[in-house]
A and B are shown apart, each in its own frame.
Chain A
Amino acid sequence: MSKIHVTTTVNGDPVEFLADPRETLLDALRDRLGLTGSKEGCGTGDCGACSVLLDGRLVSSCLVLGVEAEGKRVDTIEGLAEADGTLHPLQRKFLEHAALQCGFCTPGILVASKALLAKNPDPTEEEVRYWLAGNLCRCTGYDKIVRAVIDAAAEMRGAA
């Protein structure tokens, strides 16, 4: 089976890889590009651990073929902190609120939360909960996660 050459942009950097056409974007990110921050929880689009932005749109990277990334812009958890290591406000607030336990769902939740705050800088608790309904945390730390997102939103608006 012949591989396909894919040229795309990941976290602002131009990258290329050879993909088996059946391989998912998640597999390409993890196994071809070494970006293992995006996790595979279910592989069937139910858990959100593999969340990335594709051309700015929140998607499950396990439900995208790697070859579909051709010419697109992909943003992953690795691009959330600044290049010098300064954490994004969401990351800082997740630490402050202890909004993670095992941490497996955390990259997906941070990416999904970033997409939420880009669209809605002042979400209600209900809006946060609905937006993140597809991000499962099996340690069930949802309350702290929701509080951390709301607190980060307030800081980013300059309200806290």
Chain B
Amino acid sequence: MRYHTPQTFEDAARIAAGAAGVTRFLAGGTDVLVQMRSGLVLPDDMIDLKHIPGVRDIARTADGGWRIGVAVSGAELGEHAALKADWPGVVEAMELIGSTQVQGRATLTGNLCNGSPAADSVPGLVAAGAMVTVTGPSGSRDVAVETIPAGPGKTALAPGELISAITLPPRGAHGGDAYLRFIPRTEMDIAVVGCAVNLVLDGDQIASARVALGAVAPTVILVPEAAAAITGTALDAAALEALAGAASAAARPISDKRGTADFRTEVAGVLARRVAEIAYARAKGHAK
């Protein structure tokens, strides 16, 4: 295995594009090293991105959003008070992943590119309307985060392409987001179902919303019907009922050792309702 430490994303993309064998990008390594250990992935070229300036930075963008470097760890996200105040759902989702030790290394970008349908941080990013910068040998482009997952373990990135940053939009006034997952224990587990809701209020009414579900389809999914069910409402009982119905209807899960398809379908609705209530309370300025 050749170990590369490029100084720019363009160089990283060029190395990957020119490599003949198995290539992996290394940020936190909490998935890649496990895959290497099991023999699932034996890279010929390992491209460590942590020598590229700025990859550990969390920075305000000119419009008031946030730009998160690809090597920022979950622990670093959780310690960033201003980011957490703006996007508590995104941060709490990332903080659910793994142990304290894993939090010291694991990254949002890695969680996204690992391609797991159950990736905890991805629904939060999708609901937030995050954009990612994709850098390839011929330049960079910004795309919506939900266009990246392509199936279990698969992304829409072409060979030689990599993500060079994640950008969260400006939070703006009267907004809130949240994420919950169902697991059968209290920590250190993989989501049976995950749900993120992001909404903006106009008075008591929901002016706009985005709802995303994890672990109920081959990829994390954005559910516009669930968002439509609560938009224009004050999240009353009827709206919550409609939201739960829309979330369950959008779920097309498999049955596996973590849960049956029927269970996941029902839990998708239950979680959507609970998460929407948290996001709504946060948008109202109530704690939690």
Contact = CB atoms under 8 A, between A and B. Distances in A.
Contact of B3 (A4, A45, A112): A4
B54 interface: no
A116 B99 CA distance: 13
Interface in A119-148: 130-135
B99 to A, nearest CB: 2
A59 B101 contact: yes
Contacts of B2: 21
A68 B48 contact: yes
Q: How large is the interface on B (under 10, 10 to 19, 20 to 34, 35 or more residues)?
A: 20 to 34
A149 to B, nearest CB: 13
Contact of B29 (A21, A22, A48, A63): A63
A51 B98 CA distance: 14
Contacts of A1: 1
A60 B201 CA distance: 42
A22 B101 contact: no
Nearest to B187: A133
Contacts of B38: 44
Nearest to B75: A57
Nearest to A130: B187
Interface of chain A, helix or strand or loop or mixed? mixed
B3 A58 contact: no
B50 interface: yes
Interface centre among B37, B38, B46 (most CB of A within 10 A): B37
Report the contact-size class of chain A (Cβ under 8 Å from the partner): 20 to 34
A48 B50 contact: no
A116 B26 CA distance: 27
Given A22-B36, A62-B33, A65-B33, A45 B101 contact: yes
B187 A63 contact: no
B198 interface: no
Contacts, number: 81
**Which one of A48, A131, A132, A134 has the greatest number of beta carbons of chain B within 10 Å?**
A134
Nearest to B33: A63
Contact of A67 (B3, B100, B105): B3
A134 B3 contact: no
Contacts of B144: none
Interface in B93-111: 98-102, 104-105
Contacts of A21: 1-3, 46
B173 interface: no
Interface in A41-80: 43-46, 48, 51, 54, 57-60, 62-65, 67-68
A63 B37 CA distance: 9
B164 interface: no
B26 A65 contact: yes
Interface string B27-51: 0011001101110000000101010
Nearest to B35: A44
A45 B30 contact: yes
Contacts of A106: none
A131 B99 CA distance: 8
Contacts of B22: none
Interface string B43-83: 00010101000000000000000000000010100000000
A59 B3 contact: no
19 contacts: A22-B1, A22-B36, A44-B34, A45-B30, A45-B34, A57-B73, A58-B101, A58-B104, A60-B105, A62-B33, A63-B29, A63-B105, A64-B105, A65-B26, A65-B33, A65-B46, A67-B3, A112-B100, A134-B100
The 7 closest A-B pairs by CB, nearest first: A134-B99, A21-B3, A60-B101, A59-B104, A57-B104, A63-B33, A44-B34
Interface of A: 1, 4, 21-22, 24, 43-46, 48, 51, 54, 57-60, 62-65, 67-68, 112, 115-116, 130-135
Given A1-B1, A21-B46, A130-B187, 14 more contacts: A21-B3, A43-B37, A45-B34, A54-B104, A63-B29, A64-B29, A64-B105, A68-B50, A115-B100, A132-B100, A133-B99, A134-B98, A134-B100, A135-B99
